[in-house]
Amino acid sequence: MPTSTPSTAAPSSTAGARGTDGYTHYLNKDADQPFYQRVWNWMTTVDHKKIGLMYGVSLAIVFLVAGVLAMLMRMELLSPGPELFANDTYNQLFTMHGVLMVFLFLVPSIPAMLGNFVLPMQLGAKDVAFPRLNLASYYIYVAGGLMTVGAILLGGLDTGWTFYTPYSTDAGGNAVLVMTAALFVTGFSSIFTGLNFIVTIHKMRAPGLTWNRLPLFVWGLYATSIVQVLATPVIGITMILLILERTLSIGIFDPALGGDPILFQHFFWFYSHPAVYIMILPGFGIISELMATFSRQRVYGYTAIALSSVAIALLGFLVWGHHMFVSGQSAVSAIIFSLITYLIGIPSGIKVFNWVATMYKGSIWLQTPMLYSLSFLFLFTIGGLTGIMVGVLAVDVHLHDTYFVVGHFHYVMMGGTVMALFGGLHYWWPKMTGKMYNETLGKIAAALVFVGFNITFFSHLILGSQGMPRRYATYLPRFETLHQISTYGSWVLGGGMFLILGYLLHSMVWGEEATANPWAAPTLEWTHTTPMPDPHNFEHTPIVTRGAYDFHKIEELIPGGDGAGDGAVTEVGVPASGDGASGGDGQQRRRETEQSS
């Protein structure tokens, strides 16, 4: 929330007011002003970096709350009967977990926090194209969040995050009205961000930064933005229709009023399926960045990865019916949706193969961000393959609405998006806060999260294929063992998460000062001093002469100095390669070879 941001995000004013190279860190620029003034400065800032951070703090709160709800659900599921909570309470728990995670966390997460922070810098731009619109999108998001709190205060709702009619037409009282209105409002935040990014990417790239030199994170955000702008209005309209049906009894979805409940599912998934690409595409972008930087290698199949993101974004609009194979839509529709679903699986597969191939002849440095990146490859591959499984028409008849589906989308959303988000957060943390987190704790937490996640959700896959339906407050005794394993896993997972929260907060105050480019990364946001020149990111507009990941050409961009050149690498302790060549990985020799040939 905006008011709490300054005190948590700004490092203590005495310790790090000035960076090692004489620039004032952008977070400390107003350190000598009175507190209320600093709060006001934050609340009215149009700086994309600060807006990104404010989003970050809000998202962290939502993620924490929704995560704790999930832990409570797992506690209840330790035994088959109702132990901890009554049915109604459990149903409200999974509803709020889903609503918060999907609409207020996953959809905005990477674009609004990391995208806002990184995108203009990766483009060599001063800011996003419409800085005020950017701030407006944040406040709209906060308004949506407050309305959600309102819905909870009104007694909460138990419709599930999917709001299927006709249950949602009369269940839940005013809480459902407020919640659906909140989603309508939050949608605008998403649309504004998407619009802003599309214009920024088209119009504000630095000279020489052509489309095929763009960092792949930018490509990911671009594809995401297209989906945000085109799909989000549909969920807004659907929510308005639901509100009209509830308040004015206009028959749209409720058969009792002459409506059609299947229509709601079509509308809902027409947004909510593309929405999973809003969640995952920016994650793909981050993974490309991490694989390149920590393998010190060009991303294999750059063009394939860039264009497959756009292909996924567009095909993503044509597969919503695969959520409805057993809902009563026609068999012909089901068959067509199944076919397109497979076609959309291919580009995702291509990406995974390319990321693995990126490590070939690389120089792999297993820092925390890279561990998350590798976790992503492992977990997302399972998520993708289980996606193929539920896409098989006949098999989906058995697996639909079971824990298999729950497991599948947690592997994709959490194993995919959240792993990418954590990787990106650790990767850009030094740039965002000017501080380094504790690397050892980072690795321990990454391991806990990876292990805990697999225990928690692999058991879901088995439970589901054994026939355990989702959204069950109580269950048949024969599922007890697997449920217990899953719950134990959730404790490991939760432990890892709290460890991350702990050391990241710790690092903001007591962390080591970060250097300009601690990872020897190649993209533009790392080319300048640790604290970015405020407020416009760059002293001079950079001129780009190479592709984003052309490590072998890095010195042509920034000769020597404290930029992304290899000079910075040895200084900050990037381990040298075994053969002792300077530059850490034989790049130097490679360059020499190239020049001589």
Partner 1 sequence: MNDGGTVWLPESASTLAPTIDSLFYFVYWASVIIFAGVVIAMLYLIWKYRRESHADRMKLVEESRLIEATWIVLPTILVLVVFVWGFRAYIKVGVAPPDAYEIRVTGKQWLWEFEYPDGTSTTGELHVPVDRPVKLVMSSTDVLHSFFVPAFRVKHDVLPNRYTSVWFEATKEGTYKALCTEYCGASHSQMTANVTVQDQGEFESWLKSAGIPSDASPVERGKILYEQQGCNTCHSLDGSEGTGPTWKGLYGHDAQLADGSTVTADANYIRQSILKPGSQIAKGYQNIMPASYGSLSERELTGLVAFIKKQSEKGRAELKAAGATSDSTAAAAADSISTGDEQQQAPSGPPGAMPSAEASNQ
The residues in 267-286 that bind partner 1, with binding defined as CB under 8 A, are none
230: CB partners within 8 A, 6+ apart? 274, 317
Among 126, 470, 506, 546, binds partner 1 (CB under 8 A): 470
Q: Which of residues 546-565 bind partner 1 (CB under 8 A)?
A: 552
Among 58, 193, 295, 438, binds partner 1 (CB under 8 A): 295
CA-based angle 448:76:376, to the nearest 5? 30
CA-based angle 423:424:429, to the nearest 5? 105
Query: By CB under 8 A, is residue 467 in contact with partner 1?
Result: yes
Reduce the DSSP state of residue 583 to 3 states and report it.
coil
Q: Which residue's structure tokens are 């489309």?
A: 211
Nearer to partner 1, 191 or 291 (CB): 291
Upper half-sphere CA count for residue 177 (Cβ side, 13 Å): 10
Contact segment (CB under 8 A) with partner 1 among 154-162, 191-199, 206-214, 424-432 equals: 154-162
Euclidean distance between CA atoms 277 and 509, whole angstroms = 36
Query: By CB under 8 A, is residue 398 in contact with partner 1?
Result: yes
Upper half-sphere CA count for residue 91 (Cβ side, 13 Å): 13
- Whether the Cβ atoms of residue 253 and residue 242 lie closer than 8 Å to each other: yes
Query: By CB under 8 A, is residue 578 in contact with partner 1?
Result: yes
Q: Which of residues 74-93 bind partner 1 (CB under 8 A)?
A: 87-88, 91
| Least distance between partner 1 and beta carbon 470 (Å) | 7
| Least distance between partner 1 and beta carbon 560 (Å) | 23
Contact segment (CB under 8 A) with partner 1 among 210-218, 282-290, 291-299, 538-546 equals: 291-299
Contact segment (CB under 8 A) with partner 1 among 56-64, 159-167, 274-282, 425-433 equals: 159-167
Query: By CB under 8 A, is residue 190 in contact with partner 1?
Result: no
Query: By CB under 8 A, is residue 64 in contact with partner 1?
Result: no
Nearer to partner 1, 10 or 399 (CB): 399
Query: By CB under 8 A, is residue 401 in contact with partner 1?
Result: yes
Compute the radius of gyration of the chain from its Cα atoms.
Answer: 24
Contact segment (CB under 8 A) with partner 1 among 423-431, 440-448, 463-471, 529-537 equals: 463-471
| Least distance between partner 1 and beta carbon 357 (Å) | 7
Query: By CB under 8 A, is residue 158 in contact with partner 1?
Result: yes
19 backbone φψ class: left, alpha, beta (φ>0; ψ -120 to 50): beta
State the binding string over 403-442 for partner 1 (x if CB under 8 A, else -).
Answer: ----------------------------------------
- Whether the Cβ atoms of residue 334 and residue 325 lie closer than 8 Å to each other: yes
CA-based angle 274:278:281, to the nearest 5? 110
Euclidean distance between CA atoms 11 and 25, whole angstroms = 10
Helix (H) or strand (E) holding 506: helix 480-510
Q: Which of residues 242-261 bind partner 1 (CB under 8 A)?
A: 255-256, 260-261
Q: Locate 26 and state its tokens.
A: 């952008």
Contact segment (CB under 8 A) with partner 1 among 269-277, 382-390, 414-422, 535-543 equals: 382-390
Residue 194 CB burial class (10 angstroms; 0-12, 13-18, ≥19): buried
Query: By CB under 8 A, is residue 363 in contact with partner 1?
Result: yes
Euclidean distance between CA atoms 111 and 128, whole angstroms = 12
Query: By CB under 8 A, is residue 579 in contact with partner 1?
Result: yes
Nearer to partner 1, 47 or 76 (CB): 76
Query: By CB under 8 A, is residue 377 in contact with partner 1?
Result: yes
- Whether the Cβ atoms of residue 95 and residue 159 lie closer than 8 Å to each other: yes
Contact segment (CB under 8 A) with partner 1 among 156-164, 215-223, 239-247, 430-438 equals: 156-164
- Whether the Cβ atoms of residue 543 and residue 553 lie closer than 8 Å to each other: no
Euclidean distance between CA atoms 35 and 33, whole angstroms = 6
Among 2, 173, 469, 495, binds partner 1 (CB under 8 A): 469
Nearer to partner 1, 398 or 546 (CB): 398
Task: Name the maximum alpha-carbon separation found in the chain.
Answer: 80
- Whether the Cβ atoms of residue 345 and residue 384 lie closer than 8 Å to each other: yes
Among 300, 422, 450, 549, binds partner 1 (CB under 8 A): 300
Query: By CB under 8 A, is residue 451 in contact with partner 1?
Result: no
Instruction: Count CB neighbours of 401 within 10 A.
Output: 15
Euclidean distance between CA atoms 405 and 191, whole angstroms = 28
Euclidean distance between CA atoms 152 and 147, whole angstroms = 9
Nearer to partner 1, 207 or 255 (CB): 255
Nearer to partner 1, 187 or 345 (CB): 345
Contact segment (CB under 8 A) with partner 1 among 225-233, 467-475, 505-513, 530-538 equals: 467-475
Query: By CB under 8 A, is residue 297 in contact with partner 1?
Result: yes
Query: By CB under 8 A, is residue 301 in contact with partner 1?
Result: yes
Query: By CB under 8 A, is residue 475 in contact with partner 1?
Result: yes
